[in-house]
Amino acid sequence: MSDYRKAHVGDLTLYATDLPPGSQLVRVCRDASFAYDRMIVVIECDGEEGRELFLQGWIGEPLTRSQWREAKGDLFAGAKVVVYERVEDDGTVRLVRAPI
């Protein structure tokens, strides 16, 4: 899992993750306005199969593989794979790699 720091605040636990240079915040808007209801932190990096989009985290529904494929021409032209971590019910972490 990504490196993080945590703090207990009352009955809450806060997790902080450092983001590397080149990280981008992608906002998902429903129309031409800048009002958004979802956002995704994306780190574009070189991987074994070419340029990867590592999704550090998101708020709201994630985008589908076809949505990433459609957006990559305008936002991430060289991207070949979307990568993210998924925490399973048993607490293990699985790395998901989805070609786009």
- Phi, psi dihedrals of residue 61, rounded to the nearest 5°: -65, 135
Distance of CA 91 to the CA centre of its chain: 19
pLDDT at 22 (0 to 100): 83
Q: What pLDDT, in 10s, does the model give residues 25-66?
A: 999 988 777 788 889 999 999 988 889 999 988 888 889 999
In sequence order, the β-bridge partners of residue 3 are: none
Q: What average pLDDT does range 20-28 have in this prediction?
A: 88
pLDDT at 1 exceeding the cut of 50? no
pLDDT at 60 (0 to 100): 86
Q: Is 37 helix (H, G, I), strand (E, B) or coil?
A: strand
pLDDT at 2 (0 to 100): 59
C-beta separation of 82 from 100 below 8 A: yes
- Phi, psi dihedrals of residue 81, rounded to the nearest 5°: -145, 140
Q: Decide which of 45 and 4 is more confident.
A: 45
Nearby residues of 89 by Cβ (< 8 Å), 6 or more positions away: none
Q: What average pLDDT does range 86-98 have in this prediction?
A: 91
Q: Decide which of 1 and 29 is more confident.
A: 29
Angle at 61 between CA 64 and CA 43, to 5 degrees: 70
Cβ-based neighbour number of residue 68 at 10 Å = 23
